A and B are shown apart, each in its own frame.
Chain A
């Protein structure tokens, strides 16, 4: 088996005093093969963004403490001296952020901002960098790219700014592109365009993509593999198709049931009662216990380990385990 491009192992992020730490990520594990696309889904506060920031080592230190392993291309990023990280950021791993409004520097022209990434990682004369920036803008569908190089972020609409962000992120052909809620701040029509663009870009550059969203539609559109997070933990992971056809964890089911459908005869959309527990207030046992419709006493005592649903699909829930087979939940055909 080839080594994965990214391997996250027992990733733990803590904030607050060492004597009483608040854990925002609790042993997150996943792997990503080169060229694949993974979506992380979950409600706000489930630890999605924290995971991506931890991979980039952008969690402010010493306030936040990161432990575990983040292997990128066989190297543990957490072992690297801090000074080494800028060489990886932007070149090997690039990131697209949620808010295109505030994530661009307001006093720097977009041409300079795109060219900056190139300047930081490649030696290229100034004029060449400008040309490349224009080329990138053209690639992300910016009309009149050469003429817009000297424009400033406030002169663009939200969708165009997100295109600029994408151009910036792909400037150095990163092997891994992390997109943290790339479409959340955009209008629905623009969302579709930006998603389309991201798929094109990915195909063209052949980079892997880690997309983070609370929007299952976005995830279904781009990701081949899905990770469902809840309260800082991975609670279900699997092939995208399997997850959407056969959601196993009650939380994933709840999420999917909450999605409005075109042919909906429901009077009210489904909702999961309650809300995500705050970091530091997570109970022992299964963190979803309080909101779960299928809870049992056992869930209160012990966090269920990952159980296999099928060869690519795992869920951290007792009810998926064969001995507790509840016909209401488990689709027998998938159990093998």
Chain B
């Protein structure tokens, strides 16, 4: 168990290195000179030289690479070319909003998707199952930014139940109030995805011999479904949960735009538009680290769910 966890942690290290290297290389081979991007087309040669010197762009590439890595380990991602704010500070400001949105969306998605999937599986091929499958189809098909706009028009603009955008004021209820619609938008898709996954996984498990054993023991339907069925179906579901979490995180980019919320996604988009290299770099690193982190977390969840992984080796 401890070995397994240690192994997973060690596995993550080369992945992180690879990602950082890719980010570094990508930023260097992108067309356009960051100095000109930052200073404008009319910058004087002296200004450009001074800027390159200040940003450490005059040293050899390998040295830039080590400076870059060192910067990350000392939690220094450089400064925004535009506002001169440290990138770490920008991330610290915007990341909580994105996490808040992702967290809410996932809670709603899981709370909706898993029960829906169970309900569909238990009533296989009856009308509730068909209705849920219809909904799943819509959830898969509809683009989230479009759905977001629809919900915004209907619930915020027409009915006035929710604020039209932003993140609310400081207190918690106002924040929840503001995050609800964008989270619901993301959750609509998550629910469809997790619901479908839960249904298929459960139906597969229902065909297994140990389900029949449970019935033969005298377990009632509820116990058979939840204790024996769902517990075994949880492994594929948790994989789906991890994927879903990742897509929610990246999906938040568009949703933040639609709902005019601050966040890492918005930060990244405006940085790309403004060619603010340092901020783009920082944003990508944050996203990439989250991918690694979530995968790591999923590996640990597997261990909890499946004893067969726990004991091997």
Q: Which residues of A contact B (CB under 8 A)?
A: 56, 58, 83, 86-91, 94-95, 97, 99, 102-109, 116-117, 120-121, 152, 154-155, 165, 168
Contacts and interface: CB of A to CB of B under 8 A. Distances in A.
Interface in B195-252: 208-210, 212-220, 223, 228, 231-232
B305 A95 contact: no
Nearest to A120: B218
Given A86-B220, A152-B307, A105 B215 contact: no
Contacts of A99: 209
Contact of A58 (B216, B220, B306, B311): B216
Contacts of A121: 218
A103 B209 contact: yes
Contacts of A105: 210, 213-214, 228, 231-232
B232 A94 contact: no
B308 interface: yes
B232 A56 contact: no
A267 to B, nearest CB: 40
Contacts, number: 77
B308 A154 contact: yes
A86 B218 contact: yes
A262 B60 CA distance: 86
A129 to B, nearest CB: 13
Nearest to A56: B216
Interface of B: 208-210, 212-220, 223, 228, 231-232, 305-308, 311
A121 B212 CA distance: 17
25 contacts: A58-B212, A58-B215, A86-B220, A88-B218, A90-B218, A94-B216, A97-B212, A102-B208, A102-B209, A103-B209, A103-B210, A104-B210, A105-B231, A108-B228, A108-B231, A109-B307, A117-B217, A117-B218, A120-B218, A120-B219, A152-B307, A154-B311, A165-B213, A168-B213, A168-B217
B305 A107 contact: yes
B4 to A, nearest CB: 15
B133 to A, nearest CB: 20
B210 A91 contact: no
B209 A89 contact: no
B192 to A, nearest CB: 27
B216 A104 contact: no
Nearest to B214: A105
Nearest to A168: B217
A120 B217 CA distance: 8
A91 B212 contact: no
A3 B220 CA distance: 30
B237 to A, nearest CB: 13
Contacts of A83: 220
Given A58-B216, A107-B231, A117-B217, 12 more contacts: A88-B218, A89-B216, A90-B216, A90-B219, A102-B208, A105-B210, A105-B213, A105-B231, A108-B228, A109-B307, A116-B214, A152-B311
A86 B217 CA distance: 8
A95 B214 CA distance: 10
B217 A89 contact: yes
B205 to A, nearest CB: 10
Nearest to B220: A86
A152 B303 CA distance: 14
B307 A116 contact: no
Contacts of A120: 217-219, 223
Contacts of B232: 105-107
A107 B311 CA distance: 12
A108 to B, nearest CB: 7
Contacts of A104: 210, 213
Nearest to A90: B218
B38 to A, nearest CB: 56
Contacts of A58: 212, 215-216
A90 B231 contact: no
A105 B216 CA distance: 13
Given A108-B231, A116-B219, A97 B307 contact: no
A152 B210 contact: no
A109 B219 CA distance: 17
B307 A107 contact: yes
B216 to A, nearest CB: 4
B210 A89 contact: no
B308 A97 contact: no
Contacts of B212: 58, 97, 103
Contact of A107 (B209, B217, B218, B306): B306
